[in-house]
């Protein structure tokens, strides 16, 4: 829609001076030595990744290229180059690492009944809350997140984050939901709080500062989210 000169003029007025000759020079400039080497390495990287059933990551593909000196050329292939070209090709390895467990069975006795019976419906707000715990990877490590959801409104009424899977994690999320609803003037006396049978929801995970909701536990333990 716009030519080269108007675009360069607009960039120059924004204190980004670029001459039109720069654009035309880039169009006729021959490929650099790096670009030519990349074109030679890409089919080799794709072949190495395919021959190893698509499970090799950057580290193993880089090691394999180091063993194929004839195909990869006399110069060694840098790890950063392998990473950059694998990203351009959309290739990645398969990790054996498993995420942490969010549902660990409690060891103590628990007689709380299942008041929901997998009927996750409610006639109004603050009648049935369901709770669960998930996890996410961060630069600081695994972080556990506890959520409490109102079944009727689908609103997250309470949440809490922690670096450890502790009972207070689920309790803090529940306390946050109760405090928020009581502050807004809502009645939670008929509330049922439902969760799975994990150690993080074992007694005494019930609030003490306000009326306690009716506890409910699922019959079967879920493995994880």
Give the right CATH number for 97-225 from 2.30.30, 1.20.120, 3.30.420, 3.10.20.
3.30.420
Task: Return d(Cα 148, Cα 177) in angstroms, integer.
Answer: 7
pTM of the model: 0.50
Q: Tell me: the pLDDT tens digits for 61-82?
A: 999 988 876 454 567 888 999 9
What mean pLDDT is predicted for residues 89-108? 72
Say what percent of the chain tops pLDDT 70: 77
Helix residue ranges per DSSP H, the chain: 4-13, 20-28, 33-51, 58-67, 69-72, 79-89, 167-183
Domain ranges in the chain are 4-89, 97-225
Burial of 182 per CB tally in 10 Å (0-12, 13-18, 19+): middle
Would you report the helix, strand and coil content of the chain in percent, each value rounded to 5?
35, 15, 45
* Other C-beta atoms lying within 10 Å of the C-beta of residue 71: 13
Which helix or strand (DSSP H or E) is residue 53 part of?
Answer: none
pLDDT of res. 119: 80
Q: Tell me: the pLDDT tens digits for 12-57?
A: 888 888 888 888 898 899 999 999 999 989 999 999 999 999 999 9
Q: Tell me: the pLDDT tens digits for 141-172?
A: 888 899 999 999 999 999 999 888 777 888 88
Which helix or strand (DSSP H or E) is residue 164 part of?
Answer: none
What mean pLDDT is predicted for residues 84-97? 89
pLDDT of res. 85: 95
């Amino acid at each position: 829609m716009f030519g080269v000169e108007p675009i360069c003029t607009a960039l120059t007025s924004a204190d980004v001076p670029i001459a039109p000759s720069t654009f035309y020079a880039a169009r006729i400039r021959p490929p650099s030595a790096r670009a030519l080497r990349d074109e030679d390495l890409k089919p080799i990287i794709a072949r190495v990744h395919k021959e190893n059933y698509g499970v090799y990551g950057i580290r193993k593909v880089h090691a394999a290229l180091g063993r194929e000196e004839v195909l990869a050329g006399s110069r060694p292939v840098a790890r950063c180059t392998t990473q950059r070209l694998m990203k351009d090709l959309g290739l990645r390895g398969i990790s054996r690492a498993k995420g942490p467990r969010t549902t660990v069975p409690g060891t103590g006795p628990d007689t709380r009944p299942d008041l929901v019976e997998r009927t996750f419906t409610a006639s109004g707000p603050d009648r049935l809350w369901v709770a669960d715990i998930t996890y996410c990877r961060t630069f600081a490590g695994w972080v556990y997140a506890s959520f409490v959801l109102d079944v009727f409104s689908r609103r997250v009424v309470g949440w809490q984050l922690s670096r450890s899977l502790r009972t207070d994690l689920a309790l803090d999320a529940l306390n946050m939901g109760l405090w928020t609803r009581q502050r807004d003037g809502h009645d939670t006396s008929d509330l049922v709080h439902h969760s799975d049978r994990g150690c993080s929801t074992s007694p005494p995970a019930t609030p003490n500062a306000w009326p306690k909701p009716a506890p409910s536990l699922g019959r079967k333990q879920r493995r994880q989210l």
